[in-house]
């Protein structure tokens, strides 16, 4: 709709519809900017903005050759954006998708979640003390089938003893990630996507980059134990938080994993 059409609709008495229309567009732009912040998308969008500015300046300054060249490049922009920003676009669509369709993925009772969290924290605390590297992924609403298929299927009960065994340095699966689905260990030795964010701290090693990448590609909660320092970290929504203790980790995991279950309880 052209600006003149918007003004015409406002003059014809549809002022509230016009305000709603503008508010929805502004909110969508705001949410997209939040999703792009701190990711590769922000840099690429900045590059596109620079391209448009250069196009306008070349025309204003009568730089005809440069203007012609930029005009030839511009039609390729949409295709390039889709290719370069595929992970970010996928994540954005998952975030905007209706929660209703994915509620069935994690039908776990609140008590079962608490028991599972206790077992995970017991294992993480021991692994941290012994400085054994570990990577545990807790699936939430977005399914992780493509990552589960990269590991060894298990469908086992979550116990501290089993987690300690899986991450023991002598086992074949200790380098991969354990993925927990519906309160059970779905698979072990799984491969996770590494983040390609350009501004990741140089001190962040492969295990932590995999955790960040997993949290960027899904809404999963990822627990990391550093093999070098034994530090316990948590990656959620592309953000890495370090320095958890057993009690603070238990509290945070219960908060993150029981939010959707409280939604399910109130909807019954």
Residue 156: CB atoms within 10 A of its CB come to: 15
**How confident is the model over 191-238, as pLDDT tens digits?**
998 887 766 665 677 899 999 999 988 889 999 999 999 999 999 988
Question: Does residue 34 sit in the same domain as residue 121?
Answer: no
Q: How far, in Å, CA of 184 to CA of 120, rounded?
A: 11
**How confident is the model over 18-59, as pLDDT tens digits?**
788 888 888 877 766 666 555 556 666 777 788 889 889 988
Model confidence at 186, in pLDDT bands (50, 70, 90)?
A: very high
CATH code: domain of residue 261: 3.40.1700.10
Task: Give me the residue label for tokens 């370090």.
Answer: 242
Tell me, what's the pLDDT at 218? Answer: 86
Say what the pTM is.
0.61
Tell me, what's the pLDDT at 70? Answer: 86
Question: Does residue 143 sit in the same domain as residue 259?
Answer: yes
Question: Does residue 144 sit in the same domain as residue 256?
Answer: yes
| Secondary structure letter of residue 155 according to DSSP | E
Average pLDDT value for residue range 143-150: 88
Please say if the pLDDT value at position 100 is more than 90.
no
Question: Does residue 114 sit in the same domain as residue 244?
Answer: yes
**What is the 3-class SS of 81-94, one letter each residue?**
HHHHCHHHHHHHHH
DSSP H helical ranges for 37-109:
40-60, 64-73, 77-84, 86-96
Q: Highest mean pLDDT: which of 63-77, 94-108, 125-139, 188-202?
A: 125-139
Please say if the pLDDT value at position 129 is more than 90.
yes
Strands 232-236 and 152-157: unpaired
Which of 101, 117, 148 is where one domain is finished?
101
Closest CA to 217 of 137, 122, 151, 154: 137
Question: Does residue 215 sit in the same domain as residue 137?
Answer: yes
Q: How far, in Å, CA of 18 to CA of 9, rounded?
A: 7
Q: How far, in Å, CA of 119 to CA of 14, rounded?
A: 58
**How confident is the model over 244-254, as pLDDT tens digits?**
999 999 999 99
Question: Does residue 114 sit in the same domain as residue 240?
Answer: yes
Tell me the residue range of the domain where 90 lies: 3-101
Q: How far is CA 63 from the centre of its chain?
A: 43
Strands 134-138 and 177-181: parallel
Which of 101, 119, 144 is where one domain is finished?
101
Q: Highest mean pLDDT: which of 19-28, 150-159, 170-179?
A: 150-159
């Amino acid at each position: 709709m052209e600006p003149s059409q918007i003004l015409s609709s406002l003059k014809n008495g549809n002022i509230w519809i016009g305000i709603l229309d503008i508010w929805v567009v502004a909110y969508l732009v705001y949410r997209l900017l939040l999703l792009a912040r701190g990711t590769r998308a922000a840099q690429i969008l900045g590059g596109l903005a620079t391209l448009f500015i250069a196009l306008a300046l070349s025309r204003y300054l009568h730089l005809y050759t440069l203007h012609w060249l930029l005009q030839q490049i511009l039609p390729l922009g949409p295709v390039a954006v889709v290719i370069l920003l595929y992970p970010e676009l996928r994540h954005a669509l998952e975030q905007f998708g209706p929660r209703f369709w994915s509620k069935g993925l994690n039908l776990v009772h609140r008590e079962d979640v608490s028991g599972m969290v206790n077992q995970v924290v017991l294992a993480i605390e021991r692994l941290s003390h012994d400085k054994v590297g570990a990577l545990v992924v807790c699936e939430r609403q977005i399914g992780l089938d493509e990552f589960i298929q990269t590991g060894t299927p298990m469908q086992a009960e979550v116990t501290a003893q089993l987690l300690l065994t899986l991450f023991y340095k002598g086992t074949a699966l200790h380098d991969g990630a354990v993925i927990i689905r519906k309160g059970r260990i779905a698979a072990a030795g799984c491969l996770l996507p590494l983040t390609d964010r350009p501004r990741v701290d140089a001190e962040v090693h492969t295990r932590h980059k995999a955790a960040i990448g997993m949290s960027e590609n899904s809404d999963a909660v990822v627990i990391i134990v550093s093999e070098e320092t034994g530090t316990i970290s948590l990656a959620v929504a592309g953000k890495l938080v370090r320095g958890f203790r057993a009690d603070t980790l238990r509290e945070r995991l219960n908060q993150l994993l029981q939010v959707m279950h409280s939604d399910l309880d109130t909807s019954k």
